[in-house]
Structure formats: structure tokens, C-alpha cells
Structure 1
Amino acid sequence: MRLINLKPGRPLAVFLALLPFALAFLAYAVASQIRLEANAADKLLPAPGTVWDTAVRLTTEGDRRTGRILFWHDTWASLQRLGLGIGISAGVGLIFGLLIGLLPLMRSFLAQFVAVLSMIPPLALLPILFIVFGLGELSKVVLIVIGTLPFLIRDLSQRVLDLPEELLVKAQTLGASSWVIAIRVALPQVMPRLIQSVRLSLGPAWLFLIAAEAIASDLGLGYRIFLVRRYLAMDVILTYVIWITILAFLIDWTLRWVSRRYFPWAGAGL
């Protein structure tokens, strides 16, 4: 039997999925043990137990000055910025994706402009955003929007363009207006793709968020990571990095569940 035809059963699939995580943890534990044996004061690779104790402390103990548990306040601040930025991008991207994909005039007017915008490195615009919008929340949200919106527009407009021509012709034959075609024909086909596009945009969105928080913020996951790096507090940094990874996974899993739940015919991808 060819390898491409071998499909693992459920137990084996679960084992194979967990194996890379176990190997990565084992590799880290071994490397940490080697460094700590050579130098007990080494801070580069703290022991897994130390990272766990730090995580418990960060999530349960309040700040000595304010009494607030900063870990959860950082999490809430970052999720608000991320959710607002991605939400705006998804809404605007959906509208312009439909317009460019359905209307030849809009496609001629905006397609190349959006393509050029997508080539601009968003982080290069960060100083400009801080100058124009200040150092508050708006500049961070705008950075996420600028970084993800062009991709969403291009991806969604291409999905509309890929709709079977006969589908649009049949709708017009039945007397559907452009508005009805957009809402009743194109939109249901585009919504699953919107979810997939948002999933693909989450990685860059987190990057832009962390970068903005690291440069100008007083609260947030990225701010805390770059604040403690000056003390070489790798146990705190690793705790925050692991937490960001967990949050990203949970958001991605939720979007995949929504896609499978409401658009089972489209598939949810990986």
C-alpha cells in the first residue's frame, strides 16, 4: 500500500498530534537541565518547574502596588485591541471584497490600488501611525487593520471572482438585481472563505499587536514581555509566550468550529 493511502485511526492520530509537543518539551527540559548543571544561576532556559511556578504566581497574585492581577489585565487589553482590529478588517474586507469581485467598475478602480497597499510593510508605518493617531489605543488598532485588511480584500474578491459564471447568469435570468446577487448568491459563498481568511490573518495580527504594545503601551501582553526582558526574566517571558500561543490556538479553534457548524459544506481546512 502506498503511503499516501495510509490513514491513521483516531488513537494513532491523537498520538501523532501530541508527539511533536512532547518532543519539543523534552528537548527544552534536557537543554535546560544541561545549562543549569553548568551554571545554577543561568536565566536563559529556566527549568519547566520554574516556569510553572511563575505562571501560577502571575495568574493568582496581585501587583504589590495596585493589587491588580496584571496578567489578566494584560490579556484583556490585548484581546480587546486584537478583536477590534480583526473585526474592523473582516467587516470592511467583506464589503470591498464583494464590491471588487462583483462589480467590474470597482475592480478596475480599486484592485490595483489594494494590491499596491498589500506590498507596504505595515510595521514600517508604525512611526507614522504614532505621529498621526498618537500613542493610545487607536494607533494599535489601526496597525492591525492596515496589516490585515489588504490581504482580506484580495482573498475575498478572488473568491467572488471564482464563483461559477453560470450561477450569476441564472440569478440574473431570474430577475435578481445586483444587490440581491451580492446578498443571496455571493455572500453565502464568501462567508466560509472569510472565516478561513481571518484564521490566516491571526498570525500577522498578533505580530502587529505585540510590536505596537512593545513600543508604546502601559498594558498588554507585548508590553509586559518587553518590560521584563531588561531583567532577563525568561520565566515570565516564556509564560506570556505560551499564553499567547494558547490564546491564538483557542481563537483559531473557535473559528474552525464556527465554520464547521454553520458552513459544513465548505469544509474547515486544517
Structure 2
Amino acid sequence: MRLVNRHPSRRAAIVLAALPFAALALAYVVGSEIRLAANPQDKLLPAPGTIWETAVRLFTVPDPRSGELLVWQDTWASLRRLAIGVGLAAAISLVLGMAIGLLPYLRRTFAGFVAVISMVPPLALLPVLFIVFGLGEVSKIVLITIGIAPFLTRDLSQRVLAIPREQMVKAQTLGASSLVIALRVALPQTLPHLIGGVRLSLGAAWLFLIAAEAVASDVGLGYRIFLVRRYLAMDIILTYVIWITVLAFAIDWTLRWVSRRAFPWMGASL
């Protein structure tokens, strides 16, 4: 049997999926042991036990100066910014993407503009955003929004254009207006792809969030990482990195679950 036709069993699939993570963990443990054996005071690769102790302390022991659990404050601040930024980007992209895909005049007007805007590196605009919107919450949220909205808009417009023309013709034959076609024909087929696009954009959204918090903020996951880097506190930095990874995975899994529950006919492709 050809390799392209061979599929692992469920148990083998779980083992294969775990292999890269196990290899990464093993490589870290070995690297940490080598560095600590050469220099017990080395801070670059702290031992896994040290990272675990730091994580327990961060999540359970209040900060002596403020009396608060800083990791939870940072998490709430970052997730709030991420949710608002991604939510705004999704809403803007849904409306604009459907309009570009459905209406030829708007497609001629905005398709090229959105394509050019999507080529602008969002991080290059960060100083401009700080000047225009200040150093508060607005600039961070705007960075996330403009960072992923052009990509989502282009993707959704192409998804709308890919809807079979026969469906549009049948809807018009039954007397449907442009608004009805948008709401009853295009929207149900676009929403699953919107969720998929948001899932693909989350990595970039986290990048823009961390960058904005690192430059100008007094709370947030990115702010804390860049605050302790001057002390080479790798145990804290790695704890935060692992925590961000867990949060990102949880958000992605939740969106995938919502998509499969709400749009079961799209489950195989999402």
C-alpha cells in the first residue's frame, strides 16, 4: 500500500501528535542540564523544576507591594484588548468583505485599496498610532484591528465570490433583494469562514498585542515579559510564554468547537 493511503489509528495519531512536543521538551531539558552543569548560576535555561516553582508562585502568591496576583491582572488586561481588537476586526471585515464580494461597484472601489493596505506592516504604524491615539488602550486595540482586518476582508470577499452563481440567480428569481441575498445566501456561508479566518489571524493578533504592550503599557502579558527581561528572569519569561501559548490554544479550540457546533456541515473543512 502506498504511503499516501496509509492512515494511523487513533492511538497512533495521539502518539504521533505528542512526539514533537516531547522532542522539544527533551531538547530543553538536555540543554538546561548542560548549561547548569557548566554554570549552576546560569539563567538562560532554568531547570523545569524552577519554572514550575515560579509558575506556582506567580499564580498563587500575591505581589508583596500591591497585594494582587499580577499574572491574573496581566491576563485580564491582555485578553480584554485582544477580544476587542479581534472583535472589531471581524465585524469590519465581515461587512466590508461581503460588500466587496457581492457588489461590483464596491469591489472595483475597495478591492485594490484593501489589497494594498494589507501589504503595510502594522508594526511600522505603531509610532503613528501612539501619536494619533496616545499611549492608552485605544492605540493597542487599533493596532490589532488594522493588523488583521485587511487579511480577513480579502479572505471573506474571495469566499463570497466563490459562492455558486446559481444560488444568486435562484434567489433573484424568487424576488430576493440585494439585502436579502446578503443575509440569506451569503452570510450563512461566510460566517464559518470568518471563524476560520479569525483562528488563522490569532497568531498575528497576539504578536501585535505583545508588541504594543511592550512599548507602552503598565499592565499586560507583553508588558510583564519585557519588564523582567532586564533582570534576565527567564523563569518568569518562560512561564508567561507557556501561559500565552495555553491561552492561545484554548481560544483556538473554543472557536473550532463553536464552528463545528454552529456549522456542522463545515466541520470537515475547518
Per the normalisation by structure 1, the TM-score is 0.99
Q: In structure 2, what is the equivalent of residue 104 of structure 1?
A: 104
**Where in structure 1 do 4 or more consecutive aligned residues deviate above 6 Å?**
none
Distance 1:99 1:221 in 2: 36
Q: In structure 1, what is the equivalent of residue 256 of structure 2?
A: 256
Q: In structure 2, what is the equivalent of residue 122 of structure 1?
A: 122
Distance 1:217 1:168 in 2: 49
Whichever residue aligns with residue 174 of structure 2, its letter is L
* Alpha-carbon shift at residue 268 of structure 1 (Å): 5.6
Computed over aligned residues only, the root mean square deviation of the Cα atoms, in angstroms, reads: 0.8
Distance 2:63 2:266 in 1: 47
Q: In structure 2, what is the equivalent of residue 132 of structure 1?
A: 132
Per the normalisation by structure 2, the TM-score is 0.99
Q: In structure 1, what is the equivalent of residue 213 of structure 2?
A: 213
Q: Is the 8 A contact 1:147 1:208 kept in 2?
A: yes
* Alpha-carbon shift at residue 267 of structure 1 (Å): 2.4
Alignment of 1:1-270 (within 5 A): 1-267=1-267, 269=269
Aligned length: 270
Distance 2:109 2:94 in 1: 17
Q: Is the 8 A contact 1:196 1:268 kept in 2?
A: no
DSSP 3-state at the match of 2:266: coil
Structure 2 gap segments, 5+ residues each: none
Distance 1:89 1:100 in 2: 16
Range with bigger deviation, 93-102 or 6-15: 6-15
DSSP 3-state at the match of 1:267: helix
Whichever residue aligns with residue 170 of structure 1, its letter is K
Q: Is the 8 A contact 1:123 1:208 kept in 2?
A: yes
Identity over aligned pairs, percent: 71
Whichever residue aligns with residue 87 of structure 1, its letter is G
Whichever residue aligns with residue 47 of structure 1, its letter is A
Whichever residue aligns with residue 196 of structure 2, its letter is Q
Query: C-alpha deviations, 1:212-235, integer Å up to 9, x for none?
Result: 000000000000000000000000
Whichever residue aligns with residue 197 of structure 2, its letter is S
Distance 1:102 1:54 in 2: 53
* Alpha-carbon shift at residue 269 of structure 1 (Å): 4.5
Q: Is the 8 A contact 1:102 1:161 kept in 2?
A: yes
DSSP 3-state at the match of 1:46: coil
Q: Is the 8 A contact 1:259 1:268 kept in 2?
A: no
DSSP 3-state at the match of 1:88: helix
Q: Is the 8 A contact 1:101 1:107 kept in 2?
A: yes
Distance 2:133 2:56 in 1: 37
DSSP 3-state at the match of 2:40: coil
Query: C-alpha deviations, 1:156-178, integer Å up to 9, x for none?
Result: 00000000011101110111000
Whichever residue aligns with residue 53 of structure 1, its letter is E
Whichever residue aligns with residue 46 of structure 2, its letter is P
Structure 1 gap segments, 5+ residues each: none
